[in-house]
Each structure stands twice: as structure tokens, then as C-alpha cells.
Amino acid sequence: MKKNILVTGGSGFIGSNFIPHFLSKHPDYRIINLDKLTYAGNPKNLKEVETNPQYTFIHGDICDRILLEKIFMEHDIQGVIHFAAESHVDNSITGPGEFIRTNVTGTFTLIDVARISWKGKPHRFHHISTDEVYGTLGESGLFKETTPYAPNSPYSASKASSDLIVRAYHHTYGMNVVTTNCSNNYGPKQHDEKLIPTIIRKALTGEKIPVYGDGKNIRDWLYVEDHCTGIDLAFHKGVSGETYNIGGRNEKVNIDIVKEICSILDEKKPRSDKKPYSEQISFVTDRPGHDRRYAIDATKIENELGWKASENFTTGIHKTIQWYLENTGK
Ligand SMILES: NC(=O)c1ccc[n+]([C@@H]2O[C@H](COP(=O)([O-])OP(=O)(O)OC[C@H]3O[C@@H](n4cnc5c(N)ncnc54)[C@H](O)[C@@H]3O)[C@@H](O)[C@H]2O)c1
């Protein structure tokens, strides 16, 4: 008998890397992917599993309680991995309402239906969250699982709220939950709007490559495949009620990333005029409330669950650029 798990938001960037990864490792599972297919979800991302009998797609919204109840009953769901979210900070500044609806109300609806459907059975609910819930760092220090929450954008506030709802369902109802908070992911299939795909696309189309503010903001980069192995481990081995930070120990200043991508493109796909892509870099007005630095301490998941990132930024960005060169426009 295969075990059925519900993955939400599986047609987005991380979910669509996770599903093929998980199915290839675990032939004893079936995945039901519930995705609303917002602008960020792309069914093409999952072409490789479309005909796999272990995979079922359902088009729908995590805020739709009646649909969720039907899915839990008809598919005998025995675990949840919850990716679905509005995920782009810039969009949360121009339109925060959808972030509260999906990230807060959606997470509440999902975990509440799981609680009622599972009737006390210890099935796992794995919530995917972000390091942005911790706010911003100064020049030193790292986010640990014990760092107090201090979200600064409507996006991070909505994710922090969803983390607390999941936490409360463990403490109040004894649900078997685990939360992972990861740093910035990069890799194949990421939506065009995010930093790394934007740099690659604008470079290749000859447009200006926009860099916020002075370009000195620091993010800690995690190759998406490494994130998938971390989720798999935490889903199976994480201790109920615990949170685990997942980060690749790859702190990078934004402008250095832009320059590194430009110089890899100079080698892999030189401009027709042979000038460097870095000539296209253009500094633009900073994002309001832009957090200065994020950096994750991943010691807990490394020591307790034996996870380790296998890519550093240089190896990961080469793979990523190669993927975009081979797949852009398809
Ligand atoms: N990408 C990152 O760097 C990053 C970093 C930290 C945490 N996260 C978290 O990881 C998760 C996945 O991120 P991502 O980058 O893959 O996001 P994404 O924006 O690429 O994908 C989100 C997916 O959720 C779906 N979705 C949105 N609203 C929905 C709703 N109401 N019902 C059902 N489906 C809905 C979308 O259609 C899309 O397929 C999110 O929870 C995000 O907060 C992402």
C-alpha cells in the first residue's frame, strides 16, 4: 500500500523541484499536488512526472475548506508538505491582502482540515517557511532557531503568522508538525521575477540589469536541490514540534552575485559585441524596508539530522545558468 501525501504549491519553484526529487527516492509514496496555479505556478514545471502513476494534480486553492475536506477523504492523506504561498516580497508591498489570505488564512484552513480529518492520528504536517521571519541582521551573527521573530515586510509577517499557527496546533492539539525555515533558494525553474532569473534574463536580452540600492544587501544562498534533501530529511526524521533552519552557508553581497553571473555568461554565451555583460548593470531605487543581511546557522539540521549542502555558490550558479541557457524560451 502506497502512502498518500498532499503537497501544496507543488507547481511553483521549490515544489516542482521537490516532487520529482521525492518520487525518485521514495517509490512507496503517492503525491497529490494541490496548486491554484497563480501567476507563479507553472504546470510545465512538472512535465517529467505528469504521467507517473505516483503523481496526481489537483487544481485548487488551500483556502477552499470544502475542497480540502474532499481531498483528505478521497485520497486518504497521511502527510502534508505545505509549500503554497504568495512568495514575492515586492508584490507583498504593492498588494499585501493576497499574502494574508493565502499565507495566513490558507495555512490555518489547511492545518485545521488536517487536524479534523486525521482525528488524532500522528501523521506529519511539514510547514515550509523562510529565514525572513527573523528580520534583518547587522554585520555579524547568524539566524538560529531560537532567534526571536521580527518580520519586516508584509510577506515575512504573513509567513511568521503561519509559522505560529502551525506551532500552536502542535502545542494545543498535539499535532505532529515540523517547520523548516530556509534561506534564499536558487536553481532551475524559478519564476522570472526573482533576483537570479532576472539577472540572467535581462543580461541575455540586452536590457539593463537592475540592482536595488547600493547593491550591498547580503543574502545566504541555498541551491534548491540541497533544500529538497533537507525537506525530505526533516519530513521523515525531524522531531515533532521542532523547527530546523536550512541554509547553504553561502553568504553573498547582491552586487557580487550580479558580477559573478555576468562573468560566467561572458564565458558561456558572450555578447555579440564581445563587451562584458557587467556594462548592463544599473542601480535602481531601493525596495522600501529592504532587510540588509540574512544568514542562516544550519548547525541543528546538520548535527541532528545529518544534512549537508552539497553545492557551494559557484557550483550551484554554474548549474543554474546552464539550465537557463538550455531552457529559456521553452
Ligand atoms: N524561493 C525562496 O527562496 C524561498 C525562501 C524561503 C522560503 N520559501 C518558501 O517556500 C515555499 C515555496 O516557495 P517558492 O519559491 O516555490 O514559491 P513560488 O511563488 O514559486 O510558488 C508558490 C506556489 O504556490 C501556489 N499557490 C499560491 N497561492 C495558492 C493558494 N491559495 N492555493 C494553492 N496554491 C497556491 C502557486 O500557484 C505556486 O505554484 C513558500 O512557502 C515560500 O514562502 C521560499
Ligand 1 centre and the CA of 276: distance in Å?
Answer: 34
The DSSP symbol for 148 reads: P
CA distance 76 to 74: 6
Ligand 1 centre and the CA of 83: distance in Å?
Answer: 5
What is the number of the ligand 1 atom nearest to the C-alpha of 10? 39
Q: Which of 55, 61, 86, 155 is catalytic?
A: 155
φ, ψ for residue 78, nearest 5 deg:
-120, 20
Alpha carbon nearest to ligand 1 atom 12, residue: 83
Does residue 214 have an active-site annotation?
no
Q: What is the pLDDT of residues 10-36, one digit of tens each?
A: 999 999 999 999 999 999 999 999 999
Asked whether 119 and 171 are in contact (CB, 8 A), the reply is: no
Q: What is the pLDDT of residues 91-138, one digit of tens each?
A: 999 999 999 999 999 999 999 999 999 999 999 999 999 999 999 998
φ, ψ for residue 116, nearest 5 deg:
-70, -40
The pLDDT of residue 193 is above 90: no
Q: Which residue is it, cell 548593470? A: 281
Q: Which of 35, 61, 86, 131 is catalytic?
A: 131
Alpha carbon nearest to ligand 1 atom 36, residue: 41
Tell me what percent of the residues of the chain surpass a pLDDT of 90: 93
What is the number of the ligand 1 atom nearest to the C-alpha of 35? 34
CATH topology of domain 3-185+222-249+292-310: Rossmann fold (3.40.50)
Does residue 131 have an active-site annotation?
yes
The 10 Å Cβ neighbour count of residue 150 is: 14
Ligand 1 centre and the CA of 9: distance in Å?
Answer: 6
Is residue 313 within a helix (H) or strand (E), and if so which, with residue range? helix 313-327
CA distance 212 to 292: 11
Asked whether 15 and 33 are in contact (CB, 8 A), the reply is: yes
The pLDDT of residue 330 is above 70: no
Amino acid at 73: M
Asked whether 46 and 33 are in contact (CB, 8 A), the reply is: yes
Asked whether 82 and 128 are in contact (CB, 8 A), the reply is: yes
The pLDDT of residue 287 is above 90: no
Asked whether 165 and 108 are in contact (CB, 8 A), the reply is: yes
With the most atoms of ligand 1 within 8 angstroms of its CB, the residue from 6, 7, 14 to mutate is 14
φ, ψ for residue 171, nearest 5 deg:
-70, -40
Q: What is the pLDDT of residue 1?
A: 80
Alpha carbon nearest to ligand 1 atom 28, residue: 85
Q: DSSP letters of 177-234?
A: EEEEEE-EEESTT--TTSHHHHHHHHHHTT--EEEETTS--EEEEEEHHHHHHHHHHH
The 10 Å Cβ neighbour count of residue 317 is: 23
What is the number of the ligand 1 atom nearest to the C-alpha of 106? 31
Asked whether 132 and 181 are in contact (CB, 8 A), the reply is: no
Q: What is the pLDDT of residues 47-93, one digit of tens each?
A: 999 999 999 999 999 999 999 999 999 999 999 999 999 999 989 99
Ligand 1 centre and the CA of 266: distance in Å?
Answer: 32
Asked whether 293 and 136 are in contact (CB, 8 A), the reply is: yes
- What does pTM read for this prediction? 0.96
Q: Which of 35, 61, 86, 132 is catalytic?
A: 132
Does residue 69 have an active-site annotation?
no
Ligand 1 centre and the CA of 273: distance in Å?
Answer: 38
Residues ≥6 apart with Cβ < 8 Å to 240: 122, 124, 170, 176, 177, 178
Q: What is the pLDDT of residue 178?
A: 98
Ligand 1 centre and the CA of 160: distance in Å?
Answer: 15
Nearest to 3 by CA among 69, 70, 54: 54
Q: What is the pLDDT of residue 329?
A: 59
Q: Which residue is it, cell 545558468? A: 321
